[in-house]
């Protein structure tokens, strides 16, 4: 579980990454995003589910299915 510190465009938030998983670059602030190990385990969504980190091959697409 990591705190994700963005550069100006967004306040810090928690996200989950698997151990050994590379830290993705933010789609908005890129490499300026910082990851800090959260001191306590907390419930949070996986980083790939975050809108700013579309590392799952999912890009924002105007055509929505379903």
Question: Quick check: 34 binds Zn ion (CB under 5 A)?
Answer: no
Contact residue for Zn ion among 26, 44, 47, 50 (CB under 5 A): 26
Residue from 27, 26, 20 nearest 4 by CA: 26
- Of 29 and 49, CB closest to Zn ion: 29
Rounded to an integer, what distance in angstroms lies between the CA atom of residue 15 and that of residue 41?
A: 11
The residue count for binding Zn ion (CB under 5 A) is 5
Q: Smallest distance, Å, CB 46 to Zn ion?
A: 16
- For residue 10, the 8-state DSSP code is S
Rounded to an integer, what distance in angstroms lies between the CA atom of residue 28 and that of residue 9?
A: 8
- For Zn ion, the binding residues (CB under 5 A) are 6, 26, 28-29, 33
């Amino acid at each position: 579980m990591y705190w994700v510190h963005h550069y100006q465009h967004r306040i810090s938030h928690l996200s989950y990454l698997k151990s050994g998983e590379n830290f993705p670059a933010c789609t908005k602030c890129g490499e300026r995003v910082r990851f800090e190990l959260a001191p306590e385990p907390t419930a949070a969504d996986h980083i790939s589910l975050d809108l700013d980190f579309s590392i799952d091959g999912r890009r924002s697409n105007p055509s929505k299915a379903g």
